[in-house]
Structure formats: structure tokens, C-alpha cells
Chains A and B, each alone.
Chain A
Amino acid sequence: MGRVLMKGTEAIAEAAIQAGCKYFYGYPITPQNEIPEYMSAHLPEVGGVYVQAESEVASINMVMGGGSTGYRVMTSSSSPGISLMSEGISYIAGCEIPAVIVNVMRAGPGLGGILPAQADYLQSTKGAGNGDYNLIVLAPSTLQECVDLTQLAFDLAQKYRNPVMVAADGFMGQMMEAVEIKPSPTRNQPADESWALGFMGERGGKRSHLHSLYLSPEPLEEHNRKLQRKYAEIKKNEQRCETYMIDDARLVVAAYGTTARISRSAVNNLRAEGLKVGMIRPITIWPYPFETFKRLPSTVEHILVSEMNAGQMIDDVKIATSCKYPISFYGRMGGFAPSVREIEDECRRILGQ
């Protein structure tokens, strides 16, 4: 398959199928309905199954069950639906079950609106469910990246036996762009019989038992320690980040997803005017790319965070830079994205131009 023009949600769905995901559990919510619709039409063609769940509470628990078999499974939703999934995500993390969850983020809080936002940054990266757990969170900025990160999500989920979220803002879901979707090399990876349910015979009668319940404190603390060791490993191995024109930059815009696309245009325009502006773009928003922030060049004087929310990433940038730089914020909410012009103006103001 060469490059084709596709809508983001459909590109994500096809990318998942090409990554070997055969089981999808979904519930309608705008702006991600094309994903379950696409899956219901195309999974049967590859011998897969689409289940329409009765709620997001049910769909995430179906994902927990499907994932416990060691095969590639997925669900998708948008913000209010992800809120309902929080309990299940905590259980999936606690039971160490691989699963891929796509959040096509819309504006909140509450029912909010169906327009794009990045207002679930804290919910996804800090954990809305109970207990000490983390999920890997990937933030695509182009539709090709929606494809690539969706496929990567399946690899990471299986590698670490952990839930992985693709946090695509509503623009990523609803816009169209040319993408190339290749079959993932790992698409036929068999279920890991050493732990997955359904292989008791293959294990010679040794059962597998997935649980997060430990009634005594000692084994529960040990279980938590084991999870924390895994999260430390993920933080070491999986930070992903792009830097753009930062080598001599005085001002760096920190942005992800759609705001990073817009910021890139602003950086280009400002550079054409001779202003030393660059961009740092986290691709994994958990684990946060602390290492890249640590290596920002000595020319940097100021950081501008831009998001489609009220500034949810600012604290991570402060931590990543040890509060070394003054930090400004420019964001829009309610379904708006900052315009190129607005970010340019903010940069000029900061640079005193």
C-alpha cells in the first residue's frame, strides 16, 4: 500500500489492523466513531472480532479480558469515555495485561464539547485510576505519526505487559492527510504462553493467574516494587522527543500533537524574520522526555508552553528543566487551537520584538 489520503481515525484503525490487532471493543462517542465503525467493517475480513460494548466501563473490561489472552486487542474512545475507563485501566496496569487504548481528545470538563482539545494530558499522564501505576502515553502530531505510534503502541504493550495510550487530539482524529500504512513486522507475534490465559495445557497443567489483589501488605508492596522497577525501565528506554531548530535558540516552544504542528509553522516564520526560536516536541508524554530537556543548548533563555488546555504540561516542563528558565504559557480551550499568528505574537512579545 502506497501513500493514501485518509482521515485520522480511519488511519489509526487500519494501522491497528496492520499491526495484527484482531479484536476491538468499542462504544460510540464523537469524535472517534469512525474507529469502531471501521473495525466493525474490516475486522471480520481478517478473521477478527468487533464487539460493541454497552459502555466504556464494559469496553475497557473487555479489553482487559482480551489482553489477558496475550493477543493484540484495542479500544478507542474520547475524553468522557476515558474517564469511565479509569478503573479498568488501573486494573489492567495492576494485572500487567497488554492493551492499547486510543483517546481522541475533546474539550471538557464534563460533557464539554465534541471539538478538539488536549485537556486530558494530566488524566492520561498522571493516572486517573487508583494506585501507583503508569501507562505509556504517545502523542502524535501528524497522521503518519498516528499510524506509526499506533503500531508502536502494540509493541510496547506486549514488551512491557502494560497499557499504552495513543493520546490523539481531536484534530488528529478528524483531519485528512496522506499516510502510508505498512504491515507491522510484529503483527503475527504469538501470544506469550508463559503468562497468557488459555495455555494451561501447553504449560503442562500449570495455570496462569492474573491479579492485582494481595490481601497482605508484604506481597502487595513487593508487587508495587516490581511495577516501579518496570516503570523505571520504561522511563530509561522509551522517552521519545523531537527537537526543531533549537541549536542556537533563545526561545523554545514546548508543544505536542496539533499545537506542535502549529508551533512548527510559527518557528519557521519567526526564523525567516531572523528570530532565534526553536521547538521541543514530546512524543511520549509519559515517560516524559526529561533527557532531551536536560540537553537544551546554553543559548536558551525562555520556554513557551503551548497547548489546547489551561497549561497542563507546564509542571512537567518545570521539573524537566529544574525550573532553570522562565516559563510562559499560551493556550486555547473549548475546542480552539492557538493560531500560528497567536504563537508568533507570543514569541515576539517574550523576545521583546
Chain B
Amino acid sequence: MSEVKVYSRPKSWMPDVSSHYCPGCGHGIAHRLVCEVIDELGIQNDAIGLAPVGCAAMIYDYIDTDFCEAPHGRAPAVATGIKAVRPDKIVYTYQGDGDLASIGMGEIVHAANRGMNLTVIFINNAIYGMTGGQMAPTTLIGQRASTCPLGRDVKVNGYPIRVSEMLAALPAPGYIARVTVAQPKYITKAKQAVRQAFQNQVDGKGFSLVEILSSCPTNWGMRPVEAFDWLVNTMIPYYPLGTFKDFD
């Protein structure tokens, strides 16, 4: 009987390394998608990643491309600095929702508004994961977090920010899509979007961002399966999946 290989790690995944993410965390799946796309486009030697501050701060331990860390929220500015010097390289940021939509809101809006030829992978898990589950700008109405123990109250905390819709209102950014890694059927679509976001940069088209709705079972206080169900049933209705903007 001949052996059929049903699973192997992407080439750009660091050899012999397993991730530190909690069971049921979406970061690992998102990393894998980035690796697969890097492999398929053959851009490993040309890709330069910017690591965020958040649970994915150690992303460079898993993805084998050039990397620089960025201060909390500033990855789009660091990426802009690199791309100005090396427009021939594929520069990508990978950022959480606290990183991108709170402390780094200024940097992402202006990078998008310049239409800089960059790829942004934005992991929205509706919480500050790394610091232990505090309320994020994306935390849902009524969702409990360690700094809103009674649930997010819009009168006090305002509404969760729909980053993709907000950035899609700008004329410059070319591609903005929201996907999720909650279930295999969504993951296939998520991969297509990530691939599109990198392909756009290879083609010199301009700013591309993929928002990936992701899970944080640990800080949501759920088991992994419950967390993915909650993502599908509660997060997607507020954060609809889809492509908000595409190059004509």
C-alpha cells in the first residue's frame, strides 16, 4: 500500500516548532494561512513581517521570513518605513485588535489612507488576549471582560468598532475583507482573502487588509468548541463577513 501524505507543515513554518497558543486559539490557524500563501506565491525570501505586541508577539518564532518587532500598535508605521526604502519587498503586518484598533488606530488609518502597498493581517478576537482578557475596542455589546465585568455597556464604553467598514470608507485602500477561522468552511475563504491580500502587493496594487475573526477561548472563559460556536453565533452577526472593498 502506498503512503499518501495528508498533512505537512508549510515550508515557511519554522522547522520543528510548535506554537505556544492556547488550545482552540485562532492565531495558529491564521499563521498557517499566512505560511501557506507565502509558500504558494514563492515569496519567502522577499517577505518582511512586522510582529505586533499581543499574543502573536512571537510570530517570528513560527513564520520563517525576515522580521522586525514593532512597538504596540505601530506596525503599519514601521512597515511604511521599510516599504519606502524597499518597494521591491513584500511587507506585511500581523496585528491584534487591541494593537490595531486601539493604541494603533492612528497608524492603521494613515497607512490605509496613503494607500501604501502593504498587507495587513488583522486578528479580531474581541479582547486583549495577552494581558488577560481586558475590554478591547472590538469587545461586543454585553460581552464580559476583566475590565467590564458586567459586560460592555455602550453608555460607558461606546460601541465595538467595525474596523473594516471604517477603513473601507477611505478612498485609498484597495482591498478590505472580513473572514473567520471559526470552521473549516470559513477557513477556505479566509485563505483566499489572505492570498488576495498578498497577491495585491506582489502586483503592486496597494493597501490590502484582511480582518480575521478569531477565537480566544481562554479569555472568553469557554471551551474551544464553545468558543468557535460563540464566534459564529455572536460575533459574525455584529461583524458581517465579506469583501468591503476591492480593486476594480
Contact = CB atoms under 8 A, between A and B. Distances in A.
A218 B83 CA distance: 34
A256 interface: no
Interface stretch (A100-108, A110-118, A156-164, A198-206): A198-206
Counting chain B CB atoms within 10 Å of each CB, which of A22, A73, A200, A205 scores highest?
A200
A68 B91 CA distance: 12
Given A53-B77, A87-B71, A207 B64 contact: yes
A61 B71 contact: yes
B30 to A, nearest CB: 20
B51 A211 contact: yes
A46 to B, nearest CB: 14
A97 B89 CA distance: 19
Interface in A56-108: 57-59, 61-69, 71, 73, 87-88, 91, 95, 97
A54 B107 contact: yes
B69 interface: yes
B45 interface: yes
A64 B81 contact: yes
B85 A71 contact: yes
Interface in B40-74: 44-46, 48, 50-51, 57-58, 60, 64-71, 74
Nearest to A69: B85
Interface residues of B, number: 33
Contacts of A133: none
A66 B45 contact: no
A207 B118 CA distance: 20
B66 A197 contact: yes
A213 interface: yes
Contacts, number: 128
A209 B71 contact: no
Interface string B74-100: 100111111111100100000000000
A66 B50 CA distance: 13
A33 interface: no
B110 A58 contact: yes
A210 interface: yes
A209 B67 contact: yes
A67 B74 CA distance: 15
B74 A88 contact: yes
B64 A57 contact: no
Contacts of B109: 54
Interface string B214-229: 0000000000000000
A25 B83 CA distance: 12
A58 B85 contact: no
A197 B68 CA distance: 8
Interface band, chain A: 35 or more
Interface in A18-59: 22-23, 25, 49, 51, 53-55, 57-59
A210 B80 contact: no
B23 interface: no
A200 B86 CA distance: 13
A215 B53 CA distance: 13
Given A65-B77, A71-B85, A213 B71 contact: no
B78 A64 contact: yes
Given A54-B107, A64-B78, A65-B79, A208 B66 contact: yes
Contacts of A215: 58
Contact of A210 (B44, B46, B68, B85): B68
B66 A66 contact: no
A61 B85 contact: no
A198 B89 contact: yes
Contact of A61 (B45, B46, B78): B78
A212 interface: yes
A212 B65 contact: no
A49 B68 contact: no
B86 A210 contact: no
A197 B66 CA distance: 6
B85 A200 contact: no
A325 B10 CA distance: 68
Interface in A186-237: 197-201, 205, 207-213, 215
B65 A62 contact: no
B132 interface: no
Interface in B83-141: 83-86, 89, 106-107, 109-110
12 contacts: A25-B81, A54-B107, A55-B106, A57-B77, A65-B50, A65-B77, A69-B82, A69-B85, A198-B86, A205-B45, A210-B68, A213-B69
The 4 closest A-B pairs by CB, nearest first: A65-B81, A62-B81, A61-B77, A65-B78
